[in-house]
Amino acid sequence: MTTQAKEQDSHRPGDPPYEGVHTFHNARRRLHRRRRDGEIGWFKVSMWYAWHILDLWTIPFHLAEWEIRAIQKAERKTLPASLEEWSQPLPREQWAQPSAELERLSAEVRRRQQEQPTRPITAIFAEVYAEETTLSA
User: What's the pLDDT score for residue 3?
Assistant: 47
**63 to each of 20, 21, 37, 56, 130, how far by Cα in Å?**
8, 9, 32, 11, 50
pLDDT band at 4 (very low <50, low <70, confident <90, very high): very low
Whether residue 81 has pLDDT greater than 90: no
pLDDT band at 5 (very low <50, low <70, confident <90, very high): low
Cα(134)–Cα(127) distance, rounded to whole angstroms? 11
Q: Report percent pLDDT > 90 for the chain.
A: 42
Give residue 132's identity as a one-letter amino acid code: E
- On the CB side of 79, CA atoms within 13 Å amount to 8
Whether residue 18 has pLDDT greater than 80: no
